[in-house]
Structure 1
Amino acid sequence: MEERRRAGTAPLGLGARLATGMVLLALVMVSVNLRPTITTVVGVMNQVPGVFGLDPALLPLLGTLPVLAFGVSGPIGPWLARRFGTGRAVALALVVLALALVVRVLVPVLLLPGTFLAGMSIMTASVLVPQIVKANHGTGWWTGLCTMGFGLGAALGAGLVQPLQHVLGGSLPWALAVWAVPALIGAILIHRSGGAAADAATSSPTGDASSTIVGRRPAEPLRKQRTAWAVTAFFGLQAMLYFAITSWLAVYLVSRGIAAAESAALLAWFSLAGLPASLLAPVLAGRPGVLKILAPGLGLSVALALLGVLAAPSELQFLMVGILGVVQSAGFGLAMALVVIRSDGPQSAGRLSAMSQGFGFALASLGPLGAGLLHTMTGGWDVTFWVLALEAVVLAGAGFFAIRGPLVSVEQAPAPVEPGTEATLVG
């Protein structure tokens, strides 16, 4: 009898592991789709005016539109998740992303609106990734694989767009539109496997689909929770640094006498060098003792790496740019991990993700503009790099406060009860 019982339960265990693996695969596939929209265009920006008839003066706007869309569309993801379920919300966002990628290049007049819509779709999916991780009790490896997926998608988008253009007979529109295919694959995977646990967690205020708590009061609004603001500040500052660095690093290196092609290669190296760090940072963050050092330490490391790039001779830039890529990517991995670690449930993770990424990317959009203005005003790069290093020190402070204080919660909290009464669990 015992042997039969074991034989009957073994397949269930295997099925559960398979289902968990499918959720993780779906999340990684979603993450890979959330950066090529930006990096594919950046890699062929010089061709855009001629192919799509865009005024060259609007090229900076084209590069900034996705980040601006990130900043205004943060609340859409949680709203869609409450209405349709988390998996369906992410799948819908990826379907809209695929349509936007096709329409913006096949109908040239829609290049700018389509890019903005693509940015909104990316943000809608992005803010729900931590919610699904939290609902599935994902470890730091889950967050790490997702953040590495972001970096991998960015690298693939930048590196493959020109080879794809060559394979597709020199057609830039089709080389950009083909990225709709992995978006649709991601939509299918996440719809079939990725949202079940998160949907169950969001079906009741307590995160338990089978019960409702009576006699509870609403949690304190996110805007009044200091941990939420510290996590948001950390996310926004690291994103601001990232976009400032990626926008101007190659230009700075050229000003140091490095050839344009080599400078572009160093910018690609900046992204590739950081991939392992974006995987490992969330894993290490799962250890409280390490997290206490990691959160503020990364900000200080970014500051030192920026000053190292500023001071290093051309011969050492490969090393210094690589170090900067490692610590900067680790900062992004930690920012995503903090959303999961510092929230007390799936709903809280989703709301904190929307707040931190929404406000964070709105702040990040100022990074390239601010760095460029400082360079123009001073006629050099010293002040720009020192200001960015100072910002990284502020990032360290945000990390210090983000790991202290109470967990972020939007769940219902127990209400004060009169003597002789108590909250009742029904369901």
Structure 2
Amino acid sequence: MPSHTRTLLTLLIILCGLNLRPILAGTGPLLEPIRAATGLSFGGAALLTTLPVAMIGLCAFALPLFKRWLGSKGGILAGVLLIAAACLLRLSETTSALMLSAGIAGLGIAIVQALVPALIKQHGGSHVSLMMGLYVTSIMGGATLAAGSTPWLAGQLGWSPALAVWAIPAVLAALLWHSKAPAEVSHATSSASHIGRMFGKARAWSLALYFGIGTGVYVCTLAWLAPFFVFLGYSAQQSGLMLSYMTAFEVATGLLLPIIAARYHDLRPWLLFTLAANLAGLAGLAWLPGQHSLLFVALLGAGIGGLFPLTMILTLQHADDAQTAGDLTAFVQGVGYLLAAIAPFAAGWLRDLTASYALSWQMLAGTVLVLLIMTLRFHPARYQSALSH
């Protein structure tokens, strides 16, 4: 692919990526008015995050169908339009409409996230790490915008229209993708997929567990960080800004770390660095609530922002061709997102049970300790052999 075409594809992927998280990130700061309007418990409200994440996991296994029916260009277009439709559904202030919108959003996000990594692997050339970093950063950037602006929009329009507003950038992204996506994209992932072969590979399961735990920390903070600060006495606007502050650090490390790490074949030092930041941030929230909040939230954001793209790059490094990259990525995301969906629900259940968030943060800190141990096994000299067994 010519460099100017690759640049155009990257920009379009970034635009689509910006729309993958606002429907999730905008919910947390508005949890109290949503609960007041619908009567949802904290565990029930967690389903607004759990359902999309679980849907992302389930739909990742249907990647061959998406490829065959829609192709890459049509699939990503359909995914972004589904996200727009889910946002509009939130104009109906009913529990059933909210849950339906969560499921539809998860389907749209799943299609886009299943198709983009293989495109990057196929067309990225020597710029795979940079393209993946920009893509993941765009996802987190969308979360930053939604977390910071949705509470303000709710003050002007009401909580339901504030959530529905995010259909506008999704429609814009869909129109631009439809009209400007390079012709090569339409057939870039048309070869047969064999995700099933990954079920018998121990390394694929290890990567899926690694991705699932790390993503579980991310989606749990996306769901519960803003309500946590409301619990501490912050306003909805202030709580949303704290979530936006965290995701700003995610954007910074999500962009910078993949570029820096691209110079090194061994990702383990960088992964350990991000996990240490995650652990410090979670420990601070759990054991020093309300103290040094800006520091602990910044550490948590920096850790999450670096871990997500580095994990995706680690997964791609295990594949020696675009086909294997697509199969492995779909498997890792399928299993991983299903595991990650447990985290926000478990945290909401613990919040109902204990009337506190401390145990939720402690639970997540424990899972990060597991990742620290797992990281040591990912020696680059064994990437290909580990996946082949």
TM interval, short-chain normalised:
0.7 to 0.9
Instruction: Give yes or no for contact 2:74–2:186 (8 Å, CA) kept in 1.
Output: no
Q: Which of the numbers 66, 79, 89 marks the counterpart of 1:93?
A: 79
SS in 2 for 1:343: coil
Tell me if 1:148 matches 2:137: yes
Q: In 2, Cα distance between the equivalents of 1:59 and 1:205?
A: 39
Q: Which of the numbers 24, 43, 48 marks the counterpart of 2:34?
A: 48
Instruction: Give yes or no for contact 1:87–1:193 (8 Å, CA) kept in 2.
Output: no
Q: What pairs with 1:158-307 in structure 2 (closer than 5 Å)?
A: 158-165=147-154, 170=157, 172-194=159-181, 196-204=183-191, 221-250=197-226, 259=234, 265-307=241-283
Per-residue displacement from partner, 1:404-425 (whole Å, max 9, x unpaired)? 43449999xxxxxxxxxxxxxx
Q: What pairs with 1:120-135 in structure 2 (closer than 5 Å)?
A: 120-135=107-122
Going from structure 1 to structure 2, the CA distance change for 1:44 and 1:360 (only over 3 Å counts) comes to same
Q: What pairs with 1:57-136 in structure 2 (closer than 5 Å)?
A: 57=41, 58-106=44-92, 108=94, 110-136=97-123
Q: Which residue of 2 aligns with 1:33?
A: 19
Q: In 2, Cα distance between the equivalents of 1:380 and 1:171?
A: 28
Going from structure 1 to structure 2, the CA distance change for 1:395 and 1:342 (only over 3 Å counts) comes to same
- Displacement, 1:309? 4.0
SS in 2 for 1:337: helix
Q: In 2, Cα distance between the equivalents of 1:174 and 1:408?
A: 52
- Displacement, 1:175? 3.1
Going from structure 1 to structure 2, the CA distance change for 1:232 and 1:41 (only over 3 Å counts) comes to same
SS in 1 for 2:38: coil
Q: Which residue of 2 aligns with 1:6?
A: none
SS in 2 for 1:302: helix
Instruction: Give yes or no for contact 1:198–1:346 (8 Å, CA) kept in 2.
Output: no
Q: Which of the numbers 317, 329, 354 marks the counterpart of 1:341?
A: 317
- Displacement, 1:101? 2.2
Greater fraction helix: 2
- Displacement, 1:125? 0.8
Amino acid at match of 2:34: V
Going from structure 1 to structure 2, the CA distance change for 1:253 and 1:47 (only over 3 Å counts) comes to closer
Instruction: Give yes or no for contact 1:139–1:283 (8 Å, CA) kept in 2.
Output: no
Per-residue displacement from partner, 1:38-73 (whole Å, max 9, x unpaired)? 1223332333366xx634344333343222322322
- Displacement, 1:89? 0.9
Q: In 1, Cα distance between the equivalents of 2:296 and 2:111?
A: 35
Q: Which structure 2 segments of 5+ residues have no match?
A: none
Q: Which residue of 1 aligns with 2:365?
A: 389
- Displacement, 1:288? 3.1
Q: In 2, Cα distance between the equivalents of 1:103 and 1:297?
A: 40
TM-score, normalised with respect to structure 2: 0.84
Per-residue displacement from partner, 1:256-308 (whole Å, max 9, x unpaired)? x6645655543332222221001122223323345132234433442233224
| Aligned residue-pair number | 381
Q: Which residue of 1 aligns with 2:339?
A: 363
Aligned sequence identity (%) = 26
Instruction: Give yes or no for contact 1:278–1:333 (8 Å, CA) kept in 2.
Output: yes
Going from structure 1 to structure 2, the CA distance change for 1:124 and 1:197 (only over 3 Å counts) comes to same
Q: CA RMSD in A?
A: 3.4
Per-residue displacement from partner, 1:8-46 (whole Å, max 9, x unpaired)? xxxxxxx93332221011100111010011122333233
Q: What pairs with 1:397-412 in structure 2 (closer than 5 Å)?
A: 397-404=373-380, 405-407=382-384
Q: Which structure 1 segments of 5+ residues have no match?
A: 1-14, 207-217, 412-427
Per mean C-alpha deviation after superposition, the further-off stretch among 259-268 and 73-82 is 259-268
Which of structures 1 and 2 has the bigger CA Rg?
1
SS in 2 for 1:56: coil
